[in-house]
Amino acid sequence: MFNEESVLPLLVRRLRGVLDDLDEPYEVVAVDDGSTDGTAAGLSRLRAQWPQLRVLRLRRNSGHQAALLAGLLRARGRYVVSIDADLQDPPEVIGQMLDRARTDELDIVYGVRADRSSDTGFKRWTAGLYYRLMRRLVGKQVPAQAGDFRLLSRVAVEALRDLPERNPVLRLVVPWLGFPSGEVGYLREERAAGRTKYPFSRMVGLAADSVTSFSAAPLRIATWLGLAGVVICGLLVVVAVIAWFAGATVTGWPSLYVAVLFLGAVQLLCLGLLGEYVGRIYTAVQGRPAYFVATDTAGEPSGTVTAGEPSGTVTAGEPSGTATTGESTVSGTAEGAPARDAAGSAQVTDPALLADTLR
């Protein structure tokens, strides 16, 4: 979660009620993605009243996918559920996901939006375009209208841990793993409080990351454009030679002008696409971790405050993103993040289950 101070009371009220009703041990892990408002202090106060709340605070804003991954990999339990802190994804669906996973012996259960009427027409159109493109690039296993609200088994989480990819787009990588999966439909609600941390620019960034991190199709497009440019230029040369032998008057500048512009455009496009991949190679060679954990309240008595930490962070009641009920772990991630996406996560962990991660 990132700067979600206003929604915390509503989130805890609904999430705790759902998890307590499961009648089994759980842990909630909240990932605070470097919030700059009162989110950390608010979580500290809430943790004093909610022993199952665990707070994972990142030192800086690392982006939504990085914060979500941090919560997933540090959650403990048999199942982990990731959910946004803004309550657009209803916590009441967690029980259905857990039942579906147990009954059908599934390792992944996706929360799928049955109705997007709460979104604008433009948002629905762009979302539909994104999922159609991703299903074409990655495969039909990518569920349509499924975001980051999902349940993962311990086996699936460990498979994610073993992947060498440093900055995965989880909504594509998780289906790619190929584990048995199912879906649970739900109605997406309006944001409970605060403002969105996921503007159009973040959506564009997510789409670009999805394409460049999971497909070489852009490079193939550049290759075909380059070949087309060579063919066209070759034809122009043939036309010019024939005109010269025929003694026709050729002014020269129109064909030359068009050829130069076309070749320049193709070259620039190819350089831009190659630059995307070179940038990813550069990031990987640098070896910088996707996130740094500042504090983790696991193992600390609830309600304690760690004073005098470097950078002045408060360790008691920090944002939590994991809950553990019975044998389930819930982690949630709220929107937000100047880094690339919104981020923040909460997770519910059961000695046997993990259920949910909050951004």
Q: Which of 107-111, 117-121, 140-144, 290-294 has the highest mean pLDDT?
A: 107-111
Residues in CB range of 323: below 8 A, 6 or more apart: 15, 16, 19, 26, 27, 28, 29, 52, 53, 329, 330, 331, 346, 347, 348, 349, 355, 356
pLDDT at 144 over 90: no
Reported pTM:
0.70
CA angle 218, 223, 224 (to 5 degrees): 100
More confident residue, 148 or 270: 148
Cα-based distances in Å from 280 to 60, 156, 286, 290:
21, 25, 10, 13
Q: Which of 105-109, 275-279, 293-297 has the highest mean pLDDT?
A: 105-109
Taking the C-alpha atoms of residue 207 and residue 204, their distance in angstroms, rounded to an integer, is 5
Q: What is the mean pLDDT of residues 24-30?
A: 91
For 24-56, b where at least 16 C-beta lie within 10 A, e where not — what string?
Answer: bbbbbbbbbbbbeeebbbbbbbbbbebebbbbb
Q: What is the mean pLDDT of residues 233-242?
A: 75
pLDDT class of 198 with cuts at 50, 70, 90: low
Q: Which of 84-88, 226-230, 235-239, 329-333 has the highest mean pLDDT?
A: 84-88
**Mean pLDDT computed over every residue of the chain:** 77
Residues in CB range of 233: below 8 A, 6 or more apart: 259, 262, 263
Q: How many other CB atoms are found less than 10 A from the CB of residue 163?
A: 12
Model pLDDT, residue 251: 67
Q: 309 by DSSP, 3-state: which?
A: coil
**Percent with pLDDT over 90 in the chain:** 30
In terms of Cα–Cα distance, which of 236, 112, 104 is closest to 175? 112
pLDDT at 41 over 70: yes
pLDDT at 330 over 60: no
Model pLDDT, residue 16: 94
Nearest-10 crossing angle of helices 8-21, 94-104: 40
pLDDT at 326 over 60: no
Q: How is the chain split into domains, by residue range?
A: 5-214+290-349, 217-286
Range 5-214+290-349 classified under CATH 3.30.1360: no
Phi, psi of 247 (to 5 degrees): 75, 15
pLDDT at 342 over 80: no
Taking the C-alpha atoms of residue 4 and residue 37, their distance in angstroms, rounded to an integer, is 8
In terms of Cα–Cα distance, which of 354, 235, 219, 216 is closest to 273? 219
